[in-house]
Structure 1
Amino acid sequence: MATDYLREFVMPIEILQTHKLLGSCEEALAERFTVHKLHQAADPAELLSLVGPRVRAIAGGAVSAELIAQLPALEIIANFGVGYDSIDTAAARAANVRVTNTPSVLNNAVAELTLGLMIALARRIPQGDQFVRRGKWPAAGLGLFSELTGKTVGILGLGRIGKEIASRAQAMKMRVVYYGRKRQPAEPHIFYDNLVDMARDSDWLVIIAPGGKGTEGIVSRQVLEALGPDGHIVNVARGSLIDEPAMLELLQSGGLGGAALDVFEHEPEVPEAFFALDNVVLSPHQGSATHQTRNAMGAMVVANLDAHFAGEPLLSAVV
């Protein structure tokens, strides 16, 4: 009874929310913590000067070294998403701040969208929809295109999501090969230690590697040219991994067969030149955008914060 009485008067832990989160996540955070929403502050600098010394956690991403330096009591950054390249992990490590992400829970959603984009591009499904809506069908057929059956897909990044994509591609009767930092002996797919070689031998190149300095521009003009005029590229990772101007130029000239893109270098801004291309399918970074997945991601953000403040092991620490 005395414990309950004391708990009622304990000051809640103060945390900083850096961007909008799913409603279920925000509600769970509000039940546990005093939440300061940086993205809604009329004057973010003033908010940080007022509450910064008391903030012990961040929920969300987009965390710079400058922001970390303004939060002397910061203990943990619980990122909403599997990719954490928007967080300065070096600065976090130097400040002894833990960082978590939300892996595994979005594997299926991203893999499903990847195969959906591939089919949409191969069969020109968005173009077919517009063809019918604009009343063009009575006058002519849309044309003949391609299919996935029997094609080779090269996966750049055979991690958790990459493996889910591989299994679905095999169900589509595709041959799977992959490129990564090292060969994975337990995987049955052919491993390439040279990305250009894999692109040359593939009909499809799927990008699902982490973002950040280590992978910036890894899909270079040379890789795109190796994929060639009959090759197709799918990016469900980060726009920074591809030389976007080179890709656009090759798509326009016929040097690259097609592209299905869920991410862009400067999103949400997308080069308008993409809009005029029939060999492109565009998607607004919605790889994990399902109710099930986003709710699970939000729950993992909260669970990592709960574990940290209870002194228990973190569910998904990256720093």
Structure 2
Amino acid sequence: MASSSVPQGRPETERPQLLLLRPPSAALDEVLSARFELLKSWESPLPLDRFLASHAADVRALLVINLFTVDGSLLDALPALRFVCTTSAGVNHIDLAECARRGIAVANAGNVFSQEVAEYAVGLLIDVLRRVSACDRYVRRGLWPRGGDYPLGSKLGCKRVGIVGLGSIGSEVAKRLQAFGCPISYFSRCRKPQFPYTYVPSVADLAAQSDVLVLACALTHETHHIINKDVMAALGKDGIVINVGRGALVDEAELVKRLMRGEIGGAGLDVFEHEPAVPEELFGVDNVVLSPHVAMQTFESSSDLCQLTAANLEAFFSDRPLLTSVSLPA
């Protein structure tokens, strides 16, 4: 474990310094302010590079908010850094190899968001199949009296669901969809014998035998564009894509093209390849449900995240094991 001992010359009673480069939520700010001295870059009149230089010798812990990129250049500016704590479950915005090389420990949000994201994935799927958002727009625009009944949707029960990534989120999705009577198959880095679902060793094969693909895996070099044109072709013109993982898991341009051509049945997307930018072609399409990367956000998860983040930071500064340590490459 990286050492967090107090730098020479600093009284032991001082609150540990914590660097933040983006504003946290009000709730997290309140929790952290009571325990740590918060160094807020956005409140300083100095440019970021000079702000970092002014604290470079002392800062040992960095809190990452909203997928701020932690790369070699940032780490170069913080030579005393020994801990990076991110408020996200995913860590694709952090250069883990560089952290490992420099002896910097990393912690994430662990499973705090798993149930929320799983619920949201199911919600997106029901919305796409039953056209809930589209029906809402139909009524609000006053079209019902003139246009009559809205076109039929499709039921969720018995849909064959393929889950890409049967981790903490994917397994929660599977559990919920199984209750609807959906046969569950999955692709993951390895077979998960603790689960009663069918393992498929190829994403294309999984798509070929599924009505729905739910994406719940981490974004890595290996999973970038894991849903490509071949997988979409295998899924077919009636297939549904639900993405609550990361936008770049999908070849977004290819997905948009196929949605416009009617070569994919629909999509529920909470994440996007270049967010917050969203392909404008999707704005007027009724078989696509869009949301601004909020699957994990509830009052309950926000409270849990505050407590977990504070606990991880306190563990680091007390030289105790981290609660949600991220495995670093050797």
TM-score, structure 1 as length reference: 0.95
Q: Answer yes or no: is the 8 Å Cα contact 1:114–1:234 preserved in 2.
A: yes
Q: Answer yes or no: is the 8 Å Cα contact 2:16–2:317 preserved in 1.
A: no
Supply the distance in 1 between the matched residues of 2:42 and 2:153 (Cα, whole angstroms). 45
* Counterpart position of 1:220: 228
Supply the distance in 2 between the matched residues of 1:146 and 1:41 (Cα, whole angstroms). 54
* Counterpart position of 1:291: 299
Gaps of 5+ in 1: 1-6
Q: Answer yes or no: is the 8 Å Cα contact 1:22–1:298 preserved in 2.
A: no
Supply the distance in 2 between the matched residues of 1:238 and 1:229 (Cα, whole angstroms). 23
Cα deviation, residue 196, structure 1: 0.4
Supply the distance in 1 between the matched residues of 2:233 and 2:12 (Cα, whole angstroms). 65
3-state DSSP of counterpart to 1:259: strand
Supply the distance in 2 between the matched residues of 1:130 and 1:40 (Cα, whole angstroms). 42
Change over 3 Å in CA distance of 1:41–1:272 after alignment to 2: farther
Change over 3 Å in CA distance of 1:39–1:87 after alignment to 2: farther
* Counterpart position of 1:58: 62
1:180 to 182, 188, 191: 188
Of Structure 1 and Structure 2, the greater helix share is in 1
Comparing 125-134 with 13-22, greater Cα deviation is found at 13-22
Question: Does residue 202 of structure 1 match 2:224?
Answer: no
3-state DSSP of counterpart to 1:94: helix
* Counterpart position of 2:276: 268
* Counterpart position of 2:28: 25
Identity of aligned residues (%): 37
Cα deviation, residue 70, structure 1: 1.0
Gaps of 5+ in 2: 1-9
Q: For residues 182-232 of structure 1, what are the alpha-carbon distances to aligned partners after superposition, in whole Å with 9 as ceiling and x for unaligned?
A: 111111100000110110100000000001222111111100111110100
3-state DSSP of counterpart to 1:233: strand
3-state DSSP of counterpart to 1:32: coil
1:280 to 288, 297, 305: 288
The alignment yields a C-alpha RMSD, in angstroms, of 1.5
Q: Answer yes or no: is the 8 Å Cα contact 1:53–1:70 preserved in 2.
A: no
Supply the distance in 2 between the matched residues of 1:39 and 1:165 (Cα, whole angstroms). 38
Cα deviation, residue 39, structure 1: 4.4
Cα deviation, residue 298, structure 1: 2.2
Q: Answer yes or no: is the 8 Å Cα contact 2:217–2:245 preserved in 1.
A: yes
Q: Answer yes or no: is the 8 Å Cα contact 1:239–1:264 preserved in 2.
A: yes
Cα deviation, residue 21, structure 1: 1.8
What stretches of structure 1 move > 4 A for 4+ residues in a row?
39-42
3-state DSSP of counterpart to 2:57: helix
TM-score, structure 2 as length reference: 0.92
Q: Answer yes or no: is the 8 Å Cα contact 1:216–1:241 preserved in 2.
A: yes
Cα deviation, residue 243, structure 1: 0.5
* Counterpart position of 2:6: none
1:145 to 146, 153, 157: 153
Cα deviation, residue 19, structure 1: 2.0
Q: Answer yes or no: is the 8 Å Cα contact 1:55–1:74 preserved in 2.
A: yes
Cα deviation, residue 141, structure 1: 0.7
Supply the distance in 2 between the matched residues of 1:119 and 1:74 (Cα, whole angstroms). 45
3-state DSSP of counterpart to 1:138: helix
Q: For residues 235-257 of structure 1, what are the alpha-carbon distances to aligned partners after superposition, in whole Å with 9 as ceiling and x for unaligned?
A: 00001110000000000001111
2:107 to 76, 93, 100: 100
